[in-house]
Amino acid sequence: MSKPVSFFDKPNSYIGRAVTRPNAKRLVEGRGRYVDDMTLPRMLHAAFVRSPYAHARIKSVDVSQASQAPGVIAAYDGVEIAKHITPWVGVLSHLKGLRSAPQPALAVDVARWQGEPVAMIVASSRAEAEDAAMLVEIDYEPLPEACDMEKALDKDTPVIHDEFDSNLCWERVVEAGDVDACFNDPDVTVVERTLHFGRHTGVTLEARCLIAEYDPSDDYLTIHYSGQSPHMMQAILAKHLDMREENIRFVARDVGGSFGIKIHTYGDEFAVAAVAKLLRRPIKFVADRFESFQSDIHARDHRVWGRMAVTKEGKITALEIDDLTGIGPYSVYPRSSAIECNQVLNLTGAPYDLQAYRARGRVVFQNKNVMCQYRAVGHPVAMAVGEALVDDAADAINMDPADLRARNVVPDDAYPYTSCSGMRYADLSHEQCHKKLLELMDYEGLRKQQEEGRAQGIYRGIGLASMVEVTNPGPLFYGAGGAPVSAQDGVTVRLDPAGALHVAASITEQGQGAETILAQIVADAVGVDMDRIKISTGDTLTSPYGGGTWASRATGIGGEAALLSGQALKAQILEVAATILQAKAGDLDIQDNAVVDVKTNARRIELSDLARTVYYRGNELPNESLPELIATRHFRVTDYPFVFTNGAMASYLEVDVETGLIKLLGHWVVEDCGRVINPMLVDEQIRGGVVQGIGGALFEQCIYSDDGQLLTATMADYLVPMAFEMPDIEVAHVETPTSTSVLGAKGAGEAGTGGAPAAIFNAVNDALKPLGAEKISAQPITPERVLKALGLV
Amino acid sequence: MLAVQADGAHVETIEGASDSGSVSELQEAFLRHNALQCGFCTPGMLLTAQELIDAGGATSRDAVRNYISGNYCRCTGYQSIVNAVLEVAQGKDGSK
């Protein structure tokens, strides 16, 4: 640890304590401040006509009748909107070969997925806009569609973009060590499996929404926004509306869930911004659930073949995978749709000490909704593939899967460790996490229980997963590839005359507790009570410049900036106090909102008195003393491309072998997110994440017909986990602080989602093992798939 | 229930219940357990759970989980909500 123990071990420290969230009070009172709660004077409402075809030429769009409908102010087709918004291309220059076609805000000439916006109506109410939308006449010529990702690269499959020779968006190959020699070694057993991961989506309870408000007096566009990355949005909207960045303000107040859904460029939202400027009236757009399913980014949609080589003694030597993923017709702007595949290649088998690794990933275009980064990007796929093969390998050599993991994870004393494929890991704890997990769940006891159950025809399974996660990314993640995505974040702390601290931060709050974490850290760093801290986030006008919240980075990066800025402010305060008290700054400290004498703890001057002296009675200070009482510090991760974390997870479940239904009996997580700032908030992040992972593993799927019609576009068709199906989830920690920061915090927000499907897959297959079932390798694991594996249907 | 089905009915929103104090214990418990993150589902969860508590039905984890199913929460994973509801139903204080 680079910091003296004393700071983090101070009595009454907020860091490490399960304090409750001050900003949650208004939410339990129903006084949240979401976008749709706002009504602005002269505000209009937008509705969109969306393509009913997966692939169709737009021969004509006639909005004349719609324009005359009651309440309608304006109606636009894609051609008209394109005069005000330039198209974007979702590529990153550092992902070599990644390509995508220019994407217009509203479809022009060709619609490429069912649900793509084609025309826009602006009216006095959403109801009038929707009514008028039905009067837009569009002449489509249906085109042959390319929906099935597995056929996207076939010769006879239509190519979606004329400018490309195929539907290939990106391909990457990794080759490390002598893969063939490892697999051809006569002493190894090779196991092989192909896994399928269905598409699912975020289903944020608050749908995507915004109000765009234009002030012609200043040529100033304000976007009341529900999202995660205000500064990124400001940069890209300015670029494509041809405005200056400083003339656009994004401001997010309460956000009703995001999970990665609300961090991308959506044509409908940009159209709302452009038209608000044209009409000089505020426009609100709130997607309805049907629109959300068709146009919020989807995630996953992978087919991964893999094989693993293991010796009879239980040494895993090599891994090879081939990932194919369908991303819809465009790579999403500005983060691209290649990152998930890239993560699968980077992370599959990552917990293990391998001699050789080969991977190929191919990202293909298809006529379905766009796919992009959603919570735990790539991790659920990578972990499920790697962990399924580990279980297969354990079966093949007749070894307990817990033993095989213990023998093969990278040892805790091996760090810093560079994998055979060149990934650099530091400060991980697979061995400790695995061991703690087995104790926490009573692995031996559950195995016994499982055995007893089998004798009575009860089929229970135990699934284990060891995980590696990417958190706290540095600039190499996006910024280096040309995206206006900041990997650094800033925090400003200001002491006000009343003795309160105002904290403005560029990380954002979606309910995960970022503002509470900031308050805890600043309170400790300066020496004030948490209830004297006011936090503001989410506003490009008032916050320092930064990336926002994604990739499990808010606490690790924003928290470090908070610590550094708090410490800097404290140094300023002590400097002023030394002048006022005619003491040495080194003899003073701050405790409980007052400057105290280090030796005696005697209160020397209240912070409010000190601040009032500076602000109101400067005449009492020497002329050369011009205190600022405000400090800003920024932080980004250096030395490593990101801060890896690790964890271990287990699922215990029962399969009804007659109906195929799965009952989850227990779930355990041991996570190493470095220093835990707030154990309650981090545990709740993990639990919520696990349930989202379980959703993908067992329930959630965006199902398309062969011709690209989304069949699951309502909450009746798309299954989101509800309370009754979910288990209690026990969470424990190993704390290995990251050496990349003083605070030592790594990310934790995506861990649960990343590992849960792996544990569920393995548990289901473990349950069915005595029945000679085929291994289930496709998620969601529906009752039908269970019965098929059992040969019953 | 669709809004038109409530025609003529007395509707109490979470803001009204907050002002009257009828769900205050549950609100406190939600804060203590962090039984909310983004807060979007929270009004529905509170009013639904209060109904169950008032009817004496919050007798077990399964009973609570069953009753609040129908209200989606995308953030919490539900466990903390169940804990908060049971704590209030069983009249325990928060120092778990």
CA distance A377 to A469: 10
Does the ipTM surpass 0.85? yes
Nearest to A335 by CA among A365, A361, A363, A371: A371
Minimal Cα distance from B83: which residue of A? A728
- Mean pLDDT, range A455-467, rounded to an integer: 97
The tens digit of pLDDT for each residue in A512-541 reads 999 999 999 999 999 999 999 999 999 999
Question: How high is the pLDDT of residue B3?
Answer: 87
CA distance A521 to A523: 5
Q: Is the predicted pLDDT of residue B93 greater than 60, yes or no? A: no
Which among A255, A259, A726 is the nearest to B77, CB-wise? A726
CATH number of A7-32+488-635: 3.30.365.10
The tens digit of pLDDT for each residue in A372-405 reads 999 999 999 999 999 999 999 999 999 999 999 9
In angstroms, the separation between the Cα of residue B9 and the nearest Cα of chain A is 21
CB atoms within 10 A of CB A247: 16
The distance from CA A103 to its chain's CA centroid, rounded to whole angstroms, is 24
CA distance A87 to A707: 27
First to last CA, chain A: 58
CA distance A366 to A360: 19
CA distance A120 to A61: 11
Which among A31, A202, A204 is the nearest to B15, CB-wise? A31
CB of A292 closer than 8 Å to CB of A52:
no
The tens digit of pLDDT for each residue in A331-365 reads 999 999 999 999 999 999 999 999 999 999 999 99
**Residues of B whose CB is below 8 A from A205:** 38, 40-41, 72-74
- Mean pLDDT, range A667-695, rounded to an integer: 98
Q: Does residue A220 sit in helix, strand or coil? A: strand
Residues A678, A684, A686, A688, CA torsion sign = negative
Fold identical between A7-32+488-635 and A298-475+639-789?
Answer: yes
Q: Does residue A604 sit in helix, strand or coil? A: strand
Question: How high is the pLDDT of residue A11?
Answer: 78
- If you write DSSP's letter for every residue of A712-771 in order, what string do you get? --STTTS----GGGPPPEEEEE-----TTSSS-B---TTHHHHHHHHHHHHHHHHHHGGG
Q: Where are the beta strands (DSSP E) in A130-234?
A: 137-142, 168-176, 188-201, 209-215, 220-225
B40 touches chain A (CB under 8 A): yes
- Mean pLDDT, range A755-784, rounded to an integer: 97
This prediction's pTM: 0.97
Instruction: Report percent pLDDT > 70 for chain A.
Output: 99
CA distance A480 to A496: 38
Question: How high is the pLDDT of residue A6?
Answer: 62
Please report which helix (H) or strand (E) contains residue A524, including its range. helix A514-526
A622 touches chain B (CB under 8 A): no
Cβ distance B72 to A729 less than 8 Å, yes or no, reads no
Q: Which of A27, A201, A228 to mutate to test the interface with B (most CBs of B within 10 A)?
A: A27
| Phi and psi at residue A579, to the nearest 5° | -65, -50
Question: How high is the pLDDT of residue A8?
Answer: 84
Residues 6+ apart with CB under 8 A from A264: A297, A332, A333, A335, A372, A373
CB of A430 closer than 8 Å to CB of A409:
yes
Q: Which residue has the tokens 């002296």?
A: A613
Q: Is the predicted pLDDT of residue A469 greater than 70, yes or no? A: yes
Question: How high is the pLDDT of residue A1?
Answer: 41
**Residues of B whose CB is below 8 A from A508:** none
Q: Would you list the domain boundaries of chain A? A: 7-32+488-635, 35-143+205-258+261-295, 298-475+639-789
Nearest to B60 by CA among B83, B26, B43: B83
Name the DSSP letter for residue A414.
Answer: G
Question: How high is the pLDDT of residue A9?
Answer: 79
Instruction: Report percent pLDDT > 90 for chain A.
Output: 98
CB of A227 closer than 8 Å to CB of B38:
no
Cβ distance A684 to B76 less than 8 Å, yes or no, reads yes
Looking at 3.40.91.10, 1.10.3720.10, 3.30.365.10, 3.20.20.70, the CATH number of the domain A298-475+639-789 comes to: 3.30.365.10
Nearest to A372 by CA among A241, A271, A228: A228
Cβ distance B30 to A255 less than 8 Å, yes or no, reads no
Cβ distance B14 to A30 less than 8 Å, yes or no, reads yes
- Mean pLDDT, range A123-151, rounded to an integer: 98
Burial degree of A118 (CB within 10 A; 0-12, 13-18, 19+): buried
- If you write DSSP's letter for every residue of A254-305 in order, what string do you get? --S--TTGGGS--HHHHHHHHHHHHHTS-EEEE--HHHHHHHSPEEEEEEEE
The tens digit of pLDDT for each residue in A687-738 reads 999 999 999 999 999 999 999 999 999 999 999 999 999 999 999 999 999 9
Nearest to A546 by CA among A442, A617, A636: A636
- Mean pLDDT, range A448-464, rounded to an integer: 97
- Mean pLDDT, range A129-142, rounded to an integer: 98
**Residues of B whose CB is below 8 A from A24:** 30-31, 34, 36, 39
Strand order in the sheet with A298-311: A168-176, A356-364, A316-326, A298-311, A188-201, A778-779
CA distance A661 to A509: 37
Question: How high is the pLDDT of residue A426?
Answer: 96
Name the DSSP letter for residue A628.
Answer: -
Question: How high is the pLDDT of residue A12?
Answer: 83
Question: How high is the pLDDT of residue A4?
Answer: 47
Strand order in the sheet with A489-495: A533-537, A501-505, A489-495, A630-635
Strand order in the sheet with A588-591: A588-591, A594-597, A603-606
Nearest to B39 by CA among A34, A538, A223, A720: A34
A35-143+205-258+261-295 folds as Aldehyde Oxidoreductase; domain 3 (3.90.1170)
CA distance A130 to A198: 32
Residues 6+ apart with CB under 8 A from A170: A95, A97, A98, A99, A331, A338, A341, A361, A362, A363
CB of A653 closer than 8 Å to CB of A764:
yes
Peptide bond into A416 cis (omega under 30): yes
